[in-house]
A and B are shown apart, each in its own frame.
Chain A
């Protein structure tokens, strides 16, 4: 799960991480009011969407840039008017862009230098790892590629946690001067505590800035949360913004299905994440293009299968559907009944290829055969993939 910049800022403040003063607004009037409360003539108005590249983005109404400096509450209001309710397209949003429902009005920091600072859960060492660089404010991948020596890594003991000396060591490696040591250490410690306390898989601050006055601030932070741990963080779970998510994925998650929309025209319904990925791979191998990833899980019910089918059919790009089930816990007859139920409620207008194997396979095949549905039966995985690619109109 991801959150907005303004939410990240609120979360960090709870853990004592210094950020520039700022407030979120949903209307131009609020933006003006927030700007007045903040005072001064050095403000910034930032469109709130879950995507990077906002500064260089363009609104579909022609207005350029999702991040603007401004000097007065009146100007803040004008900027908010041009952003709120509008669609912002950046290199990360895709052509459809994202609708801006909130803007962050903040004090603009006078930046002396920018630092990159991230904490992530490193799977190789099974421990938290701090990755930092003096080259902040730019794409860290580029830094890692061109000047790998400028990336520092500090492993953290998973049981003991981040030690104070490590925060001092990092501060010196990141070229903080002695007078800034304390505030830098405090900020690193706060970030680490946020990371652990909220079950994050990643916290990335880019940039972490030193202002001309010598303050150390987290200017922009990106969080990734472990979805498996959200049950113990209702405050974090409440920050979810479903307007930022693919509506098909939102619908799927309501029914406990794992769905990811893609651009192709062959819909897939599979049990198990590994097999679902492998099914997408084999469709591609035979020249087709998958429209989605869909794992109905190990113990899906008839209702879940029916809902899954509805989601697949709702995608207008879909030219054919492949059901690939290897029953283990999942019983083939349950899947078959789900398909039949779905076909009753939704008009099935595209070819359907079904490959069933495993637990109760005969009962499943019998149900489908007797249902009168126009199903193309497949014997094995390769057969199924070839048949569905053909049904969708052949190789692309």
Chain B
């Protein structure tokens, strides 16, 4: 009942000996994630917390442990290289938490990963979690609950808000994917929607977007033509002044494109229920589910 990650996931943590990497690797392990390896160049041969083997390269970690998903906490200056290292070693899913990566680095990463079988989530994202089975990232585990709603979001804390609303109302999540707020990232809203649409255990989806770019519009168009599951959405940034960058590099509005109003119109035109405020994301979806949409 999930997409991309589950009980069988074998995780390698790149940057495991750093303070953030170590802290969150431990949190993931406590949640039940199977962390099989760590990578920090120059620290090969050490054991993290006395049990997880640390390697110098992802290539070795992959050969020695069969890790199939990577979580990256490497500082921004080296993160693009780390993503390509994981992809080059054949790791199937690369989850990059690091924020502040220069956009040109991501442009080159994206071009080099095109056509390869590795998928990228992020960067500048909270990660991915299949509640009760596998947590990869920095989200607080306890707010989640196993269930059947897929959550896709560009923003971290706004995802927690949606998840908490669902959990408090008794609705669990199949998998929650934070795709990240950067202008150039890996998996898009649409990629995640397609996965959830095919997942038998996912019954409905919440799509959380924000101003900038056209990823929400693309997902809306596809949903209109192909998706039979109830979908609710929220777009942050109605009140953002044009031309200003608000935290996420993704959250920039310029030249009248990528506005919240434009995105909301596109989502509504696709038959998606759009929450009026961030406080009603779960309620909007629950109403759609009860209405027996389509």
Give the B-binding residues of A (Cβ under 8 A).
121, 123-124, 126-128, 141, 157-159, 196, 199, 201, 226, 228-229, 231-232, 258, 260, 262, 270-285, 290, 293, 295, 298-299, 326-329, 357-359, 380-382, 385
Contacts and interface: CB of A to CB of B under 8 A. Distances in A.
Interface string B233-249: 01011111100101111
B156 A126 contact: no
B155 A275 contact: yes
A272 B213 contact: no
Nearest to B112: A159
Contacts of A357: 160-161, 164
Given A277-B251, A278-B158, A381-B161, A199 B104 contact: yes
B210 A158 contact: no
Given A228-B100, A273-B246, A290-B239, A382 B77 contact: no
B276 interface: yes
Nearest to B155: A274
A229 B277 contact: no
Given A123-B184, A275-B278, 13 more contacts: A127-B111, A158-B108, A159-B111, A228-B249, A274-B181, A277-B239, A278-B158, A279-B278, A284-B238, A293-B246, A293-B247, A326-B160, A328-B138
A298 B100 CA distance: 13
B131 to A, nearest CB: 15
A278 B278 contact: yes
Contacts, number: 170
Contacts of A272: 155-158, 247
A196 B244 CA distance: 22
Which of A126, A262, A327, A381 has most chain B Cβ within 10 Å? Answer: A126
Contacts of B140: 327-328, 358-359
Contacts of A158: 107-108, 110-111
Given A290-B239, A329-B138, A273 B248 contact: yes
Contacts of B214: 124
30 contacts: A121-B103, A124-B214, A126-B107, A126-B110, A157-B111, A158-B108, A159-B108, A226-B102, A226-B104, A228-B102, A229-B104, A274-B153, A274-B154, A274-B156, A274-B158, A274-B210, A275-B156, A276-B246, A277-B240, A277-B246, A281-B238, A283-B239, A295-B246, A298-B138, A299-B20, A328-B138, A328-B139, A328-B156, A357-B161, A358-B140
A201 B184 CA distance: 12
A279 B103 CA distance: 27
Given A273-B251, A275-B155, A328-B160, A281 B278 contact: yes
Contacts of A326: 157, 160-161, 164
B279 interface: yes
A331 B196 CA distance: 31
A281 B155 contact: no
B120 to A, nearest CB: 12
Interface in B265-291: 276-280
